[in-house]
Amino acid sequence: MKVLTLVGSLRKESFNRRLAETMQERYQDKFEMEIADIGALPHFDQDVELDPPAVVKEFKQKVLDADAIIIVTPEYNWSVPGVLKNALDWTSRGEKVMVGKPVFPLGASMGMAGTLRAQIHLRQILVAPGVSAKVLPPGGNEVLVNFAQQKFEGESGGLIDGPTLEFLDQKVDAFIGFVKEG
């Protein structure tokens, strides 16, 4: 299974990037995972949506070629970061490459609620008519890594909290089943 991952934080040492990298290493026997460089995308511009810049075309092709998408997002002002929203806007215009694509949203933050509000907003975006992704249903499938500063190794290491990793293992298996269901 080929998975493209969008990380909503551009900071190299962000907890969300580190969560994506942990998943990339931990589940390499379950799927091939690439982390997209959404920071390279220009701001969405409707004037060029039908003939976007090459970097946008390449990104959209990666989304199209992926069997599934994982979105790892922080929470900025109770929502998703602009860079993530921008990437999703590009996927929803011209050739709509997210339509029917299985998506697994998750995220990490230093607060108690994890990325709950960002993920709720992200789910609203993902089911919008131009995006129309097939989102892993909530109700037990939410991965909200809270108090992240206590669950990652040092200032740049991966997720090391045992119970969180066990829960993540279960949700990744649920997502793989969700993707295979079609």
Query: How far apart are the C-alpha atoms of 35 and 32, rounded to whole Å?
Result: 10
Convert the pLDDT of each residue in 14-33 to its tens digit: 999 999 999 999 999 999 99
Number of independent structural domains in the chain: 1
Which three-class secondary structure state does DSSP give residue 82?
Answer: helix
Query: How far apart are the C-alpha atoms of 22 and 12, rounded to whole Å?
Result: 14
CATH of the domain at 52: 3.40.50.360
Give the residue numbers spanning the domain of 65.
2-181
Query: How far apart are the C-alpha atoms of 71 and 74, rounded to whole Å?
Result: 10
Convert the pLDDT of each residue in 144-163 to its tens digit: 999 999 999 999 999 999 99
Q: What is the pTM of this model?
A: 0.97
Which three-class secondary structure state does DSSP give residue 39?
Answer: helix
For residue 77 the two structure tokens come to 């002002």
Convert the pLDDT of each residue in 54-105 to its tens digit: 999 999 999 999 999 999 999 999 999 999 999 999 999 999 999 999 999 9
